[in-house]
């Protein structure tokens, strides 16, 4: 049953995952786990779960990071490229078709109606994602302070967004270092 993880198999597996998961990179994780651990036996479950954790803590899209990490672990740099190419190719192909038909979509009444519902849902979806990330992060006064400052800095466009992110990171390091020093 256990076949070697060649470049072409890595490409095919990730192509299938890219083609069949709706809802973004995060929704791919269960399917990736199943394919890599259960179907192909290329890695142990705990290894894959470690990779998922890492992929979510480095910058970048989660689906991209996960494909690169797994490809790299299994077959080195070229393996990472094969997995990545596999996972993004369906996205690009589908979006190209939709983009080409975009003006026709915009005059299709059924689609416009349907999308008015999806758009409202997307606003709720993103708000929920932000709320969850905030809830896990705001555990003390420091967290509240960071949220407040970041919100004001972005609402009034005082400094570039990138600097708000960098400041959040620096603040995190300083705050927790001080807290550990006290203990």
The one segment of 4-12, 32-40, 41-49, 160-168 that binds another protein by CB under 8 A: 160-168
Of residues 85 through 144, those in contact with another protein by CB under 8 A are 87-88, 90-92, 94-96, 98-99, 110, 112-134, 136-138, 143
CB of 1 to another protein, least distance (A): 27
Half-sphere exposure of 176 (CA within 13 A, CB side): 8
CB of 2 to another protein, least distance (A): 24
Closest CB to another protein among residues 3, 133: 133
Task: Kindly tell me which residue out of 2, 4, 22, 46 binds another protein, with binding defined by CB under 8 A.
Answer: 22
Residue 4 binds to another protein (criterion: CB under 8 A): no
Q: Which two tokens stand for residue 22?
A: 């709706």
From 56, 58, 2, select the one nearest 28 (Cα to Cα): 56
Task: Kindly tell me which residue out of 23, 103, 141, 183 binds another protein, with binding defined by CB under 8 A.
Answer: 23
CB of 23 to another protein, least distance (A): 5
What values do phi and psi take at 123, rounded to 5? -60, -45
Region for residue 41 given its phi and psi (left: phi exceeds 0; alpha: psi -120 to 50; beta: otherwise)? left
CB 68 within 8 A of CB 84: yes
**Cα–Cα distance list, 118 to 62, 112, 127, 182 (Å):** 22, 10, 14, 49
Residue 58 binds to another protein (criterion: CB under 8 A): yes
CB 58 within 8 A of CB 65: yes
CB of 3 to another protein, least distance (A): 24
Three-state SS for 165? helix
Closest CB to another protein among residues 3, 158: 158
Residue 54 binds to another protein (criterion: CB under 8 A): yes
């Amino acid at each position: 049953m256990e076949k070697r993880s060649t470049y072409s198999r890595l490409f095919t597996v990730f192509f299938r995952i890219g083609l069949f998961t709706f809802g973004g990179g995060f929704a791919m994780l269960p399917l990736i786990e199943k394919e890599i651990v259960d179907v192909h036996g290329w890695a142990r479950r705990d290894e894959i779960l470690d990779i998922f954790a890492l992929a979510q803590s480095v910058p970048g899209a989660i689906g991209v990071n996960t494909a690169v990490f797994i490809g790299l672990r299994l077959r080195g740099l070229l393996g990472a490229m094969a997995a990545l190419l596999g996972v993004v190719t369906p996205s690009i192909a589908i979006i190209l078709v939709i983009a080409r038909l975009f003006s026709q979509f915009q005059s299709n009444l059924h689609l416009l109606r349907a999308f008015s519902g999806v758009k409202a849902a997307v606003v709720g979806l993103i708000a929920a994602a932000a709320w969850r990330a905030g809830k896990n992060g705001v555990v003390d006064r420091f967290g509240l302070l960071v949220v407040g400052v970041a919100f004001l800095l972005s609402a009034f466009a005082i400094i570039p967004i990138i600097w708000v992110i960098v400041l959040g990171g620096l603040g995190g390091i300083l705050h927790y270092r001080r807290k550990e020093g006290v203990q």
